[in-house]
């Protein structure tokens, strides 16, 4: 996305090369020499643009995080209902991670456990997105979509942790092209979560478990009244 048709600038070429090599060998095992060769510039040129090897590392996710998370910020407001919003945010994450595996490898395998990365603008962008997710969850609790006693932080950890875990394993297994992509897992996944935290509301009601033979009678009964709508149809 956002491909430039112009020949890439030196700076971009360096960051592209660095992303590839950092993702492949890790920050420590990557060498500036190797990156400079891959980028077709001299080592000194890298230091013209990035003061430090670590600066180069942190520069990579900065743009991409901001771009992506601003893109998501533009879309989210148009989605109605917290479940839809949450799903959208998760989808942004997953598509970013999936469409740019080197980036997700870098973030999930190298950067997440780097304390200095946490003080970085790139991480701030990630945090912002993560915070948006938390806000949606809280909103869901406030507006009655989710249970009043749901722990919003826990739920966010479930959402993020699961996706991160899936991607980490995908990377550690050599990014198999497998039958099921992680995107395909999104709906089953969040449906489980939502199911687990949804307020079974819409007026004083009970969840009823009926045998098949009761369905008929019940159907008739319901038709006389206005039946409760399952909240699910909002999502999709």
Partner DNA sequence: TATGAATGAGATTTCATTCAT
Partner DNA sequence: GATGAATGAAATCTCATTCAT
Selected range binding a copy of itself among 46-54, 63-71, 72-80, 201-209, rule: CB under 8 A: 201-209
Q: Which residue, chain included where needed, has tokens 């497998």?
A: 178
Beta bridge partners of 146: 198
Count Cα neighbours of 88 within 13 Å in the Cβ-side half-sphere: 22
Q: Check binding of 10 to DNA (CB under 7 A).
A: yes
Rule CB under 7 A: is residue 130 a binding residue for DNA?
no
Question: What phi and psi, each to the nearest 5 degrees, are found at residue 198?
Answer: -65, 135
Beta carbon nearer to a copy of itself, 8 or 232 = 232
Q: Which does 207 bind (CB under 5 to 8 A by kind): a copy of itself, DNA, none?
A: a copy of itself
* Interface with DNA, residue 57, by CB under 7 A: no
Binder among 8, 24, 51, 200 for DNA (CB under 7 A): 51
Pick the stretch among 39-47, 58-66, 187-195, 213-221 that binds DNA (CB under 7 A): 39-47
| Closer residue to a copy of itself in complex, CB, 8/196 | 196
- Give the side-chain half-sphere CA count within 13 A for 61: 32
User: Helices marked H in 26-81 — which ranges?
Assistant: 32-39, 43-49, 53-75
144 DSSP 8-state letter: T
- Out of 118, 128, 138, 175, the only residue in the binding site for a copy of itself (CB under 8 A) is 118
- Check residue 213 for interaction with a copy of itself (CB under 8 A): yes
8 A C-beta contact, residue 96 and residue 89: no
């Amino acid at each position: 996305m956002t491909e430039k048709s112009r020949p890439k600038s030196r700076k971009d070429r360096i960051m592209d090369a660095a992303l590839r090599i950092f993702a492949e060998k890790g920050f420590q095992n990557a060498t500036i020499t190797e990156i400079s060769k891959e980028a077709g510039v001299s080592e000194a040129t890298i230091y013209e643009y990035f003061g430090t090897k670590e600066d180069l590392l942190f520069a990579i996710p900065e743009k991409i995080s901001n771009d992506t998370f601003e893109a998501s910020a533009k879309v989210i407001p148009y989605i109605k209902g917290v479940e839809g919003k949450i799903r959208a945010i998760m989808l942004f994450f997953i598509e970013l991670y999936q469409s740019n595996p080197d980036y997700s490898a870098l973030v999930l395998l190298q950067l997440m456990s780097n304390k200095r990365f946490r003080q970085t603008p790139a991480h701030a962008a990630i945090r912002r997105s993560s915070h948006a997710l938390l806000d949606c969850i809280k909103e869901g609790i406030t507006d009655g979509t989710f249970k009043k006693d749901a722990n919003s932080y826990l739920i966010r950890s479930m959402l993020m942790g699961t996706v991160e875990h899936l991607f980490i394993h995908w990377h550690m297994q050599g990014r198999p092209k497998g039958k099921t992509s992680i995107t395909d897992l999104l709906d089953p996944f969040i449906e489980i979560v939502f199911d687990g935290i949804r307020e079974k509301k819409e007026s004083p009601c009970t969840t009823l478990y009926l045998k098949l033979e009761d369905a008929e009678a019940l159907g008739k009964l319901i038709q006389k009244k206005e039946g409760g709508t399952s909240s699910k149809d909002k999502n999709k």
